[in-house]
Amino acid sequence: MSMIAAFYSNKSVLITGATGFLGKVLMEKLFRTSPHLKVIYILVRPKSGQTLQERVFQILNSKLFEKVKEVCPNVHEKIRPISADLNQRDFAISKEDMQELLSCTNIIFHCAATVRFDAHLREAVQLNVIATQQLLLMASQMPKLEAFIHISTAFSNCNLSHIDEVIYPCPVEPRKIIDSMEWLDDSIIDEITPKLIGDRPNTYTYTKALGEMVVQQESGNLNVAIVRPSIVGATWQEPFPGWVDNLNGPSGLIIAAGKGFLRSIKATPMAVADLIPVDTVVNLTIAVGWYTAVHRPKSTLIYHSTSGNLNPCNWYKMGLQVLATIEKIPFESAFRRPNADFTTNNFTTQYWNAVSHRAPAIIYDFYLRLTGRKPRMLKLMNRLLRTISMLEYFINHSWEWSTNNTEMLLSELSPEDQRVFNFDVRQLNWLEYIENYVLGVKKYLLKEDLAGIPKAKQHLKRLRNIHYLFNTALFLIVWRLLIARSQMARNIWFFICPMYL
């Protein structure tokens, strides 16, 4: 029998961020492997027009929870939604609910965070730093608490090339940042943000690093651990391959490529795509909760949930597999087809990509207007290009993460626990995983029938032809202008033409 599954039986678990991608998969795995778990408290922000129970029903009604309902038919009775807002003091939790949480909670999984790379610093500090601080204060008042597991990110220290499983200090103390957010106005915060984040690419990675410092400084006598996942993607194995329900990470790029909106991307082909399946992260997180509660390490342990150092896959190989799956061709054939245009980082490339993406979108919108339909392509393309620009930092760099604690934990598990809570990324077959990922995006995220692939390929071909037509026309116009203005261009033209006459 699984020791980890047995540990969670009859436990009361609090999950923040349970309505998010990682939180849902975490909740599903806990119920499926430990059906005798007592209760899972989830913090849910009030939403107009929907009760808390209706939001729980919406989560449970998804494909993700089908297997759970078989092993735990009363799962809806074991989810206790708590009305909460992480932007408010004490999360705006009622006295009665707070008392229940403080007196009953055994394990906390803190998954809630803003994952928006372009979030304003004030918002990112509130959700990624202050909320963590307040949750730790709550945890310190829980007499039955056995473990506090904080979900951070492997990119919290992305300004370093080699990252160990330690907490790195930030130049400015978190408490000073928190205090300054209370009295500085937005214009001043906007001005100082670049200086504060330094060589980190955005407020997300910076505030996640601050959050880790808060955990280290304010955890007191709590049994605390930190899990750092890299780019979290669709499920690998559980509860079934390819499940995904959000546009974060590669999912948006896969949709853009599959719909024909994305024809080129500025990237370093050989850079390691440190993607990690969400079920791998969840299995590690649950195992970390067990180990932290049972073995009570003397210091806060950090666990990297990454793939690059143990089973690397570069962006080029990943892009080819995406192409092969979208166009239903063998992977080997993708090497002979034009895939993502991995280009160099210079102004000319940026300008050309922006023009060559937006102009076909304008042409397509003009066609939609002529046929009486609402133009939408340019809006989608602008959103896509903005998303890609925020991802460029991560697809043009590679990192080395040490995984000593993660490997130590794997060795501590029994063979049965290694099977049930598998987080050994060395077993991952990338080609198979990416194929399931692409099909999962189509099936679970876009809600499209896989039988519609031939029609989708025709649409893809139509958009590709528009793209090629525009690029050809643009090249001819530029070349004509060069001939008109440059004697050298005319000489080259007259030299080449006789060769084909």
Instruction: Please state, in angstroms and rounded to a whole number, the distance separating the CA atoms of residues 376 and 198.
Output: 37
Residue 478 lies in a domain: yes
Q: What's the CA gap between 219 and 210, in Å, rounded? A: 14
Cα dihedral 213, 423, 116, 434 in deg (nearest 10): 150
Q: What residue type is assigned to position 304 of the chain?
A: H
Contact 320, 331 (CB under 8 A): yes
The tens digit of pLDDT for each residue in 48-71 reads: 778 888 888 988 998 999 999 899
**Residue 96 tokens, joined:** 């009665």
User: What confidence tens digit (pLDDT) does each residue in 280-304 have?
Assistant: 999 999 999 999 999 999 999 999 9
Q: What is the pLDDT of residue 462?
A: 62
| pLDDT at residue 500 in the model | 45
Q: How many CA atoms within 13 Å lie on the side-chain side of 93?
A: 23
pLDDT of 491 higher than 80: no
Nearest partner of 322 among 415, 276, 259, judged by Cα: 259
Q: With 70 as the cut, is the pLDDT of residue 495 above it? A: no
* Reported confidence tier of residue 442, pLDDT bands at 50, 70, 90: confident
Give the pLDDT score at 349.
Answer: 44
Residue 494 lies in a domain: yes
Q: Could you give the number of structural domains in the chain?
A: 1
Q: Can you spell out the DSSP letters for 364-424?
A: HHHHHHHTT----HHHHHHHHHHHHHHHHHHHS---EE--HHHHHHHHHS-HHHHHHT---
> What three-state secondary structure class fits 453?
helix
pLDDT digits (tens, 9 = 90+) for 238-262: 999 999 988 777 887 887 777 666 7
261, 381 contact by CB (below 8 A) = yes
- The more confidently predicted of residues 158 and 490 is 158
pLDDT in tens, 8-37: 999 999 999 999 999 999 999 999 999 999
- Please report whether residue 465 resides in a domain: yes
Residue 127 DSSP label: I
Residue type for 66, please?
Answer: E
Query: 């430990």: which residue's tokens?
Result: 34
Residues 6+ apart with CB under 8 A from 395: 265, 267, 268, 271, 273, 315
For residue 144, the model assigns a pLDDT of 96
Q: 498 in a domain, yes or no?
A: yes
What is the spatial distance between Cα 162 and Cα 85, in angstroms, rounded to a whole number?
36
Tell me: the pLDDT tens digits for 216-245?
999 989 999 999 999 999 999 999 999 998
C-alpha dist (Å) from residue 261 to 126, 329, 399, 464: 35, 20, 29, 9
Say how far residue 363 (Cα) sits from the centre of its chain.
32
Q: Which has more pLDDT, 355 or 168?
A: 168
On whether residue 459 sits in a domain, the answer given is yes
Greatest mean pLDDT among 8-17, 318-327, 459-468, 489-498: 8-17
Q: Is the CB of residue 320 less than 8 Å from the CB of residue 339?
A: yes
Total Cβ atoms within 10 A of residue 27 = 28
Inside any domain, residue 104 = no
Does pLDDT of 354 surpass 60?
A: no
Please name the amino acid found at residue 399: W
In the structure, what pLDDT confidence band is assigned to residue 327 with cuts at 50, 70 and 90?
A: low
Give the residue-averaged pLDDT of 416-428.
Answer: 96
In a domain? residue 337: no
Residue-wise pLDDT for 90-115, tens only, equals 899 999 999 999 999 999 999 999 88
Average pLDDT, the chain: 85
Range of the domain at 480: 453-501
Mean pLDDT, range 376-403, rounded to an integer: 81
Q: Percentage of the chain with pLDDT > 90?
A: 54
Is 128 inside any structural domain?
A: no
Among residues 64, 68, 75, 66, the alpha carbon closest in space to that of 33 is found at 68
> Is 32 within 8 Å of 237 (Cβ atoms)?
no
Share of the chain above pLDDT 70, in %: 82
307, 430 in Cβ contact below 8 A?
A: no
